[in-house]
Chains A and B, each alone.
Chain A
Amino acid sequence: MSLIHIENLSIYAGMIELLAPISLTVEKGERLTILGQTGSGKSLLAQAIMGNLPRSLHSQGQVSLFGRMVDNAERQAFWGTQISMLPQEPWNSLDPLMGAKQQLEQTYRMVAGESPAEARQQAAYTLALQGLQDSGHKRVDQLSGGMAQRVAIACAMAGGAQVLLADEPTKGLDVSRRDQVVQQLLSQSEQGALITITHDVAVARQIGGRMMVIKSGELVEQGQANDILTAPKHPFTQALIEADPKNWNEAEGDTRHGEALISAQDLTIGRGDTALSKHLNFTLHQGEVVGVVGDSGCGKSTLGDTLLGVHNAMGGQVKRHSKAPRHQWQKLYQDPTAAVSPAVSLRTLLNDMVALHKIDRSRIAPLMQQLGLAEDLLERNSEGVSGGELQRFCMLRALLLNPVFLFADEPTSRLDPITQREVSQLLVDVAKQNGCAVMLVSHDPDLIEKRCDRVIRLSA
């Protein structure tokens, strides 16, 4: 008896097909990974299996769970005890007013039907198993993203479900936390089955098992994860795998650097009264690309603000060796939509800057061409262009100012993997050609390793 059997399941919004007919079977003890880019319809597949599609959508085809054909209403009876689902963004999936342990305890009591004392014991045991024994009383706003996700996994499994559907379980997590979450998912799946939905090739590789690749609502490839990841057949799968920073070409390791530009001497950075990183010593040179890595909360962004003089150092010194005026020390932001005013067209914003600094207009066209920006893009405002285009527009603005130093704060983390690869390469190339020093921040050590000449590690 297979745990899940689906035949020709398709999903529609009115008459529009969002997911083409798909069939799959999951047996006991099996792991299935569904890989695809954001917006490819893979989350809908999980919701259709669970039976909690938004009301505006409807599905066609057959879903059998545990050898029985079931409709949506019948499936609700399986929730928690037979099949469970982990929604995206764990910090939204826990009750914001209730402690973590209380929520877990409640699940043991009400879903698994244990006595209050048993439930309390079980909850304490499960949290201890995850190394969260000290965080049981904390609410979701006091937990880190990774901890919240592990509590959510524990809650999802507390009812004794054999099958777990995990929808983007690692979205927004640091690499070290990501690995912990994946480990927990794997250990849960030993008793039953695990279906993971992800856009992250690295996660797919770690989980292994069987794999299906979905591109804009259509299945393009399926088979064993190992086979697909080593020898992808479909061009889309190839592109996805190449976009994983692990598979990028190495940086050339350029060691020809110009003069010293800015240095930190015994620098301590922090926000408010809390020091985030202490005793930093380094010097940046012209034309150098330096990576900054570290877990979230260790002050990567604060380091940038301190070097740029926007934020005061808590101790030590930042010394600028160059006399370049302030507007030549620039920054690229993690979320370009938050960094560009949506009130007027991009052209107006560009003209504002050109007028302010009397920039030679003839420089714009060639630079735009190099950055792959089409002229008509400028007629739209920041909400009318894609994240990748907007980030390249930000690069255009920054580069027109002839920067000597560019602090790039996770400039590609909000972009899809294929665009991420292009934009980060472009950033490094263009900056080098213009003799500008770049400090590139990322939570992904692979990306930093492939793009930077050397690396600064921050630890909390």
Chain B
Amino acid sequence: MRQLLLKRLLQLIAVSWGVGTLTFILMRSLPGDMAYRIAASRYGMDAVDNRAAELVRQELGLDQGALAAYWQWFTDLLSWNLGNSLVSGTPVSESLWHMLGHSLLLAGAGMLIALLIAIPLGLASAYWGGWLDRTLLTVSTAMRAVPVFVIGLLAVILFALEWNLLPVAGFGTPAHLVLPALTLALSLAAISNRVIHTEAQRVFGSSFYEFARLKGLSPWQAFQHHGIRNIAVPVVAFLGIQLITVIEGVVMIESLFSWPGIGHGLAHAIFARDIPVIQGAALMMGMMFVVLNTLVDIACHYLDPRGGRIA
């Protein structure tokens, strides 16, 4: 366990270093007189003069040599000084917390709905099999073949544009959360119901489960005491793998629904080449990813006393 936590800590450092370096390269590789362009985008084309450009140059450390600038960039990063947005001029760290709240709300709601869909369906299809299993397999396969933004688009077309039940995009009311969360949930459930199905089938067919029945436990007792936990261990471990789907889904869904989370912020910043925001958002996503992974590790450790994780 200690080794795992150490590995996660190493990953946190790697995230900061990797994101910092990549965005630094990004900053240096922008074509033309960057400071002038940034000043133009911030203050408007007419208000730009050389003095304004000079200020920006100093602010971003573009007047230093590459190595010194890199060092400066990195120490700023470690002290959580993420700079100001090139577009709005506001400090990046402030808006990040705001965005994080929205992203976590979306991710949490999506994962919750996904579990509510996937657990009963996965268990039922493993227990009864037959047409239920075949239908679920077909639907899951089809859902996995379309990217998450397509699920979102179809949901928008149906629920928002055709039936006018829910708002197309934006945020503010609970109704705004429904479509993004449902989209995320469907894409997650398409995979996890099959994983739960496979694991449940493995447990139901295992000889320890059969023995639990043979030694006299009722079907419900056997499931309660020997089923749930044995199914949960690999499923929770799989959750760690699925976190990638969650984060990637969040990026796409937020962009699609204009949900003001980190993914939306990241995609927007890349489009606008707002480098400090790119850095901040990528950093935040990476950290969120590592922290969630650590939580999964701890859950696995708690559930499975044998130690060791499947992934």
Say if the two chains contact directly (CB < 8 Å): yes
Q: Which residues of A contact B (CB under 8 A)?
A: 50, 52, 76, 79-81, 84-85, 87-89, 92-98, 106-107, 110-111, 139, 141, 152, 155-156, 158-159, 161
Query: What is the CA–CA distance of A111 and B217 in the complex, to the nearest angstrom?
Result: 6
Return chain B residues, CB-CB under 8 Å to A84.
Answer: 214-216
Query: Do the beta carbons of B226 and A95 come within 8 Å of each other?
Result: yes
Given contacts A84-B214, A159-B216, list 7 more A-B pairs with CB under 8 A. A79-B215, A85-B211, A94-B208, A95-B208, A95-B212, A97-B229, A111-B215
Query: Do the beta carbons of A92 and B225 come within 8 Å of each other?
Result: no
Query: Do the beta carbons of A139 and B215 come within 8 Å of each other?
Result: no
Return chain B residues, CB-CB under 8 Å to A92.
Answer: 206-208
B230 interface hit (Cβ, 8 Å): yes
Distance to closest chain A CB from B149 (angstroms): 39
Return chain A residues, CB-CB under 8 Å to B133.
Answer: none
Distance to closest chain A CB from B306 (angstroms): 6
Return chain B residues, CB-CB under 8 Å to A106.
Answer: 217, 225
Name the contact of A87 in the complex, choosing from B207, B230, B233 (C-beta under 8 A).
B207
Distance to closest chain B CB from A140 (angstroms): 8
Query: Do the beta carbons of A141 and B306 come within 8 Å of each other?
Result: yes
A-contact 0/1 string along B11-47, CB 8 Å cutoff: 0000000000000000000000000000000000000
Interface residues in B270-309 (C-beta closer than 8 Å to A): 303-306
Could you list some 28 contacts between A and B, CB below 8 A? A52-B213, A76-B213, A79-B213, A79-B214, A79-B216, A81-B216, A84-B215, A87-B210, A87-B214, A88-B207, A89-B207, A92-B207, A92-B208, A93-B207, A93-B210, A94-B208, A94-B211, A95-B225, A95-B226, A95-B230, A98-B226, A106-B217, A106-B225, A107-B217, A110-B217, A111-B216, A152-B211, A156-B211
Assuming A80-B214, A84-B214, is B230 touching A96 (CB within 8 A)?
yes
Query: Do the beta carbons of B233 and A110 come within 8 Å of each other?
Result: no
Query: What is the CA–CA distance of A80 and B215 in the complex, to the nearest angstrom?
Result: 4
Return chain B residues, CB-CB under 8 Å to A97.
Answer: 229-230, 233, 303-306
Distance to closest chain A CB from B222 (angstroms): 10
Interface residues in B199-250 (C-beta closer than 8 Å to A): 206-208, 210-218, 221, 225-226, 229-230, 233
Distance to closest chain B CB from A90 (angstroms): 9
Query: Do the beta carbons of A96 and B208 come within 8 Å of each other?
Result: yes
Distance to closest chain B CB from A81 (angstroms): 6
Query: What is the CA–CA distance of A111 and B214 in the complex, to the nearest angstrom?
Result: 11
Name the contact of B215 in the complex, choosing from A52, A96, A107 (C-beta under 8 A).
A107
Return chain B residues, CB-CB under 8 Å to A94.
Answer: 208, 211
Query: Do the beta carbons of B305 and A139 come within 8 Å of each other?
Result: yes
Query: Do the beta carbons of A159 and B215 come within 8 Å of each other?
Result: yes
